Chain A
Amino acid sequence: MNSPGVLVLAGGLSHEREVSLHSGRRVATALRSQHLDVMESDVDSGLIERLTGAGDIVAFPLLHGEAGEDGSLREVLALLDVPFVGSLASASRIAFDKSIANRVVAAAGVATPVQVALPHEIFRELGASSLVAALGQQVGFPMMVKPSRSGSALGCTRVDSEDQLPAAMVAAYAYGQVAVVETFIEGTEVTVGVVDRGDGPQVLPAVEIRPESGVYDYAARYTPGATRFICPAELDDDVADRAALAALRVHEVLGLADLSRTDLIIDRSGTPVFLETNVAPGMTETSALPLAIEASGGDLGETCAALVENAWKRGIRSPHMPTR
């Protein structure tokens, strides 16, 4: 079988455009090192023409945030019969929405924070003050307030007392109609990648994240040197195994394909608690997944090429097909 061309999709209009462009460049370079014919494309009004005119290609979506991770671009790829790397639109939609993913993952036996999800209309209709007070009582402090559908830490706030809650709710609702309020879990922050090269999902070593500033915000994520990454994470073996199993369970129960990266907090008792999962994990020079691939003895180029080959063999995916 001839090798297909690869169309790396990066950029887009989300807030993470620049991060996505970095991811795209790195993956494109890695694929070229494997002698694949690689094109890079933004997601704009010329994309459909490029996709339909490109001949035998596999698309490698590396868009972060909305459109990239909420499934909409993947729906378009499926509609146009373009084979692509990664999860189907339906699975991406569920994974991207924290209020839904949390429930699905919890039902599968993975520990999750206590979570309340509320649309902002309910506050408008019922009055904010009593609901805000109830949230404080039910979830307790400290808590995290997040937009339900958001591609990055944007709109997320740690809240330590009731008087901070209104500003945090405003910050979250500015990104969408639904906000989730979760218990804040103290512990070790790790992220665990899952890669399926065609022979079943393989869990990569957990990467422990220790931002120098104490907060893993935008600057800590994308300034080289601002965060310590420890891989494999400094966990007891049984805890590491539990984290690996949790990431694998999340990948399976959400019906994800090819690659995912699940963010977990290992709480004081050693239990991995699910925070969120990413269907288009960052691939930048300061991202965790490439580090985990290297730590597992793999090579980013070889791994990405294997994902492309697998997507090519799998061929066209109807949106109504089973998820893998």
Chain B
Amino acid sequence: MTVDHPEEQPGSGGPDSRPTARRDTRLDPYIGTYAERTHGMTASAVRALFAVANRPEVVSLAGGMPNIADLPLESLGSVIARLIGEHGTRAMQYGAGQGEPLIRAQICEVMAEEGITAHPDDVVVSVGSQQGLALLTQVFCDPGDVILCEAPSYVGALGVFRTYQTQVTHVAMDEDGLDPVALRQAIAACRAAGKKIKFIYTIPNFHNPAGISQPIERRREILEIAKAEQILIVEDNPYGLLGFDGEPTPAIRSLDDQHVVYLGSFSKTFAPGFRVGWILAPHAIKEKLVLAQESATLCPPIFSQYTISAYLQTFDWRGQIKKSRELYRERRDAMLAGLQAHMPPGTTWTRPAGGFFVWLTIPEPLDAEAMLPRAVTARVAYVPGNAFYVDGLGTRHMRLSYCLPTPDEIIEGTRRLAEVMTNELSINAIFSNPGRPRTLHGYEAPGPDQR
């Protein structure tokens, strides 16, 4: 253990306050004992800004918190009271590492909405799908193993992949999501370099952060590549039931049950506070995941599983999801209208057909990361695009979320953001500042080479 080193120093006759011992400290006596993987965990000015973004004066277009204001709270309260009264000793006891049988059967019903046929035995309940992702990475990845991810990709997944010291290789997207040509190239390049690819991580519906969805043909194409190359697909699908138009697109898992691990969640379609998600995996993988889950948590939270199970049994959960879609559609419309009305020329954005996010591409030479403090001063917050890349790319973009604020707040947020951008463009023009060197991808959406 590295410790502070008080060091004797002879008396010097200097100012009265001069002490006799010198302290040489890094203010953390454990600094020499942390694991290699924690060395990258540092304080961040951008993360600190989100402490301001959560204040009510700020319109936060940054967070991805679902809007749960419409949930039937009173009736839920009664259901939970009854649950404790009638089944409290079971609902508050330890449970099965794989998750409770009843909720696993109900999860299969939820997945059937997206065309998935599954058996409850193949479902493992997790502490949010975030923990499912961590278990999968733990089970599959050694340090240095490659995970192929869309460019950009979900910041929480990148964090897990970093923790397990994997190497993320970004793969470009086009307007239909993950680009098959880029995927083939990435696989070939990794293999040529002698690297082990462990899985393709993809978010096919209403992508976080890009707001793009894969049509069914694209899903088939990606699946064919994965099968031909013998690479597992990890399909992360928290938003699939939150589409604004028509029926959900069938999940990739609905097309194949051997090459796909599916991650699902109640966080967006019900409430995130219960922390219940799930993994649907081929049998052999599932067996490993159950063992990993038992050593991680003994069992996922039983009370949460019982509560959600009671919710699914007692309430019209499909009707509730329909209400949520309308709520998010109204907010998506407000955001698109606000962007249309206020954004300076040269700004482009995606038009999501569901989910929570719009991906904005800002004019050169603006830099979304550098601009964030000024935006917060102007009382609007967003997530700079580079949070969604492992390699520092993405500063030409930002993720705007419309899930939580009211439509009026969203429009006001876009107005404030546009004002910050316009002011920043004007200062840049005075100094003819070229900004950071960038190469733009052909398609004005996510791509691995958009700095």
- State whether A286 and B52 are in contact (beta carbons under 8 Å apart), knowing that A129-B432, A241-B14 are contacts in the complex: no
Report whether B27 and A286 are in contact in the complex, using a CB–CB cutoff of 8 Å. yes
Report whether B430 and A124 are in contact in the complex, using a CB–CB cutoff of 8 Å. yes
Report whether B17 and A203 are in contact in the complex, using a CB–CB cutoff of 8 Å. yes
Report whether B431 and A169 are in contact in the complex, using a CB–CB cutoff of 8 Å. yes
Q: Which of A13-21, A28-36, A98-106 contacts B (4 or more CB under 8 A)?
A: A13-21
User: Nearest chain-A residue to B58 (Cβ)?
Assistant: A13
Q: Which of A202, A230, A237 contacts B17 (CB 8 A)?
A: A202
A270-312 contacts to B (CB < 8 Å): 285-286, 291, 294-297
Q: Which of B312-320, B353-361, B367-375 contacts A (4 or more CB under 8 A)?
A: B367-375
**Is A175 part of the contact surface with B, judged by Cβ < 8 Å?**
yes
Q: Which of B9, B22, B43, B376 contacts A219 (CB 8 A)?
A: B43
**Which among B26, B41, B55 has the highest number of chain A CB atoms within 10 Å?**
B26
- Inter-chain CA distance A282–B120, complex, in Å, is 54
Q: Which residues of chain A are within 8 angstroms of B28 by Cβ–Cβ distance? A: 224-225
Report whether A223 and B42 are in contact in the complex, using a CB–CB cutoff of 8 Å. yes
Q: Which residues of chain A are within 8 angstroms of B58 by Cβ–Cβ distance? A: 13
B422-451 Cβ-contact flags toward A at 8 Å (1 or 0):
001001101111110000000000000000
Q: Which residues of chain B are within 8 angstroms of A224 by Cβ–Cβ distance? A: 26-28, 31
**Is A120 part of the contact surface with B, judged by Cβ < 8 Å?**
yes
- State whether A17 and B51 are in contact (beta carbons under 8 Å apart), knowing that A221-B43, A230-B22 are contacts in the complex: yes
Q: Which residues of chain A are within 8 angstroms of B51 by Cβ–Cβ distance? A: 17-18, 21
- State whether A170 and B428 are in contact (beta carbons under 8 Å apart), knowing that A15-B45, A15-B373, A241-B15 are contacts in the complex: yes
Report whether A232 and B27 are in contact in the complex, using a CB–CB cutoff of 8 Å. no
Q: Which residues of chain A are within 8 angstroms of B26 by Cβ–Cβ distance? A: 212, 224-229
**Is B12 part of the contact surface with A, judged by Cβ < 8 Å?**
yes
Q: Which residues of chain B are within 8 angstroms of A225 by Cβ–Cβ distance? A: 26-28, 30-31
A92-123 contacts to B (CB < 8 Å): 120, 123
Q: Which residues of chain A are within 8 angstroms of B427 by Cβ–Cβ distance? A: 120, 170, 173-174
**Is A205 part of the contact surface with B, judged by Cβ < 8 Å?**
yes
- Inter-chain CA distance A221–B18, complex, in Å, is 25
Q: Which residues of chain B are within 8 angstroms of A16 by Cβ–Cβ distance? A: 48
The number of chain B residues touching the other chain, given as a range, is 35 or more
A interface residues, how many (CB within 8 angstroms) = 57
Minimum C-beta distance from B425 to chain A (A): 10
- Inter-chain CA distance A251–B18, complex, in Å, is 19
Q: Which of A222, A228, A237 contacts B24 (CB 8 A)?
A: A228
Q: Which of B18, B30, B371, B432 contacts A128 (CB 8 A)?
A: B432
- Inter-chain CA distance A285–B28, complex, in Å, is 10
- Inter-chain CA distance A124–B431, complex, in Å, is 9
**Is A240 part of the contact surface with B, judged by Cβ < 8 Å?**
yes
Minimum C-beta distance from B225 to chain A (A): 39
**Is A253 part of the contact surface with B, judged by Cβ < 8 Å?**
no
A175-205 Cβ-contact flags toward B at 8 Å (1 or 0):
1000000000000000000000000001111
**Is B89 part of the contact surface with A, judged by Cβ < 8 Å?**
no
Report whether A15 and B49 are in contact in the complex, using a CB–CB cutoff of 8 Å. yes
Report whether A232 and B19 are in contact in the complex, using a CB–CB cutoff of 8 Å. yes
**Is B25 part of the contact surface with A, judged by Cβ < 8 Å?**
yes
Minimum C-beta distance from A144 to chain B (A): 17
In terms of DSSP, what is the predominant structure of the interface of chain B? loop
Report whether A132 and B18 are in contact in the complex, using a CB–CB cutoff of 8 Å. no
**Is B57 part of the contact surface with A, judged by Cβ < 8 Å?**
yes
Report whether B23 and A230 are in contact in the complex, using a CB–CB cutoff of 8 Å. yes
Q: Which residues of chain B are within 8 angstroms of A222 by Cβ–Cβ distance? A: 43, 48
User: Nearest chain-B residue to A227 (Cβ)?
Assistant: B26
- Inter-chain CA distance A173–B24, complex, in Å, is 37
B12-66 contacts to A (CB < 8 Å): 12-19, 22-28, 30-31, 41-45, 48-49, 51-52, 55, 57-58
Report whether B19 and A296 are in contact in the complex, using a CB–CB cutoff of 8 Å. yes
Report whether B373 and A240 are in contact in the complex, using a CB–CB cutoff of 8 Å. no
Report whether A205 and B17 are in contact in the complex, using a CB–CB cutoff of 8 Å. yes
Minimum C-beta distance from B419 to chain A (A): 13
User: Nearest chain-B residue to A169 (Cβ)?
Assistant: B431
Q: Which of B19, B31, B431 contacts A132 (CB 8 A)?
A: B431
**Is A51 part of the contact surface with B, judged by Cβ < 8 Å?**
no
Report whether B18 and A240 are in contact in the complex, using a CB–CB cutoff of 8 Å. yes
Q: Which residues of chain A are within 8 angstroms of B43 by Cβ–Cβ distance? A: 218-219, 221-223, 226
A234-269 contacts to B (CB < 8 Å): 234, 237, 240-241, 244
**Is A171 part of the contact surface with B, judged by Cβ < 8 Å?**
yes
Minimum C-beta distance from A221 to chain B (A): 7
**Is A166 part of the contact surface with B, judged by Cβ < 8 Å?**
yes
Minimum C-beta distance from A26 to chain B (A): 12
- State whether A15 and B52 are in contact (beta carbons under 8 Å apart), knowing that A154-B45, A218-B45, A296-B19 are contacts in the complex: yes
A21-53 Cβ-contact flags toward B at 8 Å (1 or 0):
100000000000000000000001000000000
Report whether B57 and A13 are in contact in the complex, using a CB–CB cutoff of 8 Å. yes
Minimum C-beta distance from A120 to chain B (A): 7
User: Nearest chain-A residue to B48 (Cβ)?
Assistant: A18
Q: Which residues of chain B are within 8 angstroms of A296 by Cβ–Cβ distance? A: 17, 19
**Is A215 part of the contact surface with B, judged by Cβ < 8 Å?**
no
- Inter-chain CA distance A222–B43, complex, in Å, is 6
User: Nearest chain-B residue to A44 (Cβ)?
Assistant: B55
A27-86 contacts to B (CB < 8 Å): 44
Q: Which of A166, A173, A231, A297 contacts B22 (CB 8 A)?
A: A231
Chain B residues in contact with chain A, CB under 8 A? 9, 12-19, 22-28, 30-31, 41-45, 48-49, 51-52, 55, 57-58, 370-371, 373-374, 376-377, 424, 427-428, 430-435
Give me the 10 closest cross-chain CB pairs, A-B, nearest first.
A225-B28, A222-B43, A166-B431, A224-B28, A225-B31, A218-B45, A18-B51, A219-B42, A18-B48, A223-B42
Q: Could you list 25 A-B pairs, sorted by A, with CB under 8 Å? A: A15-B45, A123-B431, A124-B430, A166-B432, A166-B433, A169-B431, A169-B433, A170-B427, A175-B373, A175-B374, A204-B17, A217-B45, A219-B42, A223-B42, A224-B27, A224-B28, A225-B30, A230-B23, A237-B13, A240-B18, A244-B14, A244-B17, A291-B27, A296-B17, A297-B17
Chain A residues in contact with chain B, CB under 8 A? 13-19, 21, 44, 120, 123-124, 128-129, 132, 154-155, 166-167, 169-171, 173-175, 202-205, 212, 217-219, 221-232, 234, 237, 240-241, 244, 285-286, 291, 294-297
